[in-house]
Amino acid sequence: MKILLASLCVISLLVILPSVFSASSSSEDFDFFYFVQQWPGSYCDTQKKCCYPTTGKPAADFGIHGLWPNYKDGTYPSNCDETKPFDKSTISDLITSMKKSWPTLACPSGSGEAFWEHEWEKHGTCSESVIDQHEYFQTALNLKQKTNLLGALTKAGINPDGKSYSLESIRDSIKESIGFTPWVECNRDGSGNSQLYQVYLCVDRSGSGLIECPVFPHGKCGAEIEFPSF
119 catalytic per annotation: yes
Which candidate in 65, 135, 185, 226 is catalytic? 65
Type of residue found at 52:
Y
**What stretches of 81-202 show up as alpha helix (H) in DSSP?**
95-101, 113-122, 133-146, 149-155, 167-178
135 catalytic per annotation: no
Angle (CA) 92-137-64 rounded to 5° is 115
Dist. CA 225–CA 198, nearest whole Å? 12
Min separation Cβ 10 and ligand 5GP, Å: 42
H or E segment and range at residue 201? strand 194-204
Min separation Cβ 35 and ligand 5GP, Å: 11
**Contacts (Cβ under 8 Å, ≥6 apart) of 177:** 148, 151, 152, 155, 156
Q: Are 182 and 171 in contact (CB under 8 A)?
A: yes
Min separation Cβ 188 and ligand 5GP, Å: 13
* Nearest Cα residue to 102 out of 55, 70, 170, 172: 55
The nearer residue to ligand 5GP, 120 or 165, going by C-beta atoms, is 120
**Contacts (Cβ under 8 Å, ≥6 apart) of 55:** 99, 103, 111, 112
* Nearest Cα residue to 119 out of 69, 160, 163: 69
* Nearest Cα residue to 30 out of 68, 66, 64: 68
134 catalytic per annotation: no
Min separation Cβ 196 and ligand 5GP, Å: 14
- Interacting residues toward ligand 5GP by CB under 6 A: 34, 38, 43, 65-66, 68, 70, 76, 104-106, 115, 118, 122, 217
Which candidate in 82, 121, 123, 218 is catalytic? 123
Min separation Cβ 72 and ligand 5GP, Å: 12
Which candidate in 119, 121, 135, 226 is catalytic? 119
The nearer residue to ligand 5GP, 70 or 173, going by C-beta atoms, is 70
Q: Active-site residues: which are they?
A: 65, 119, 123
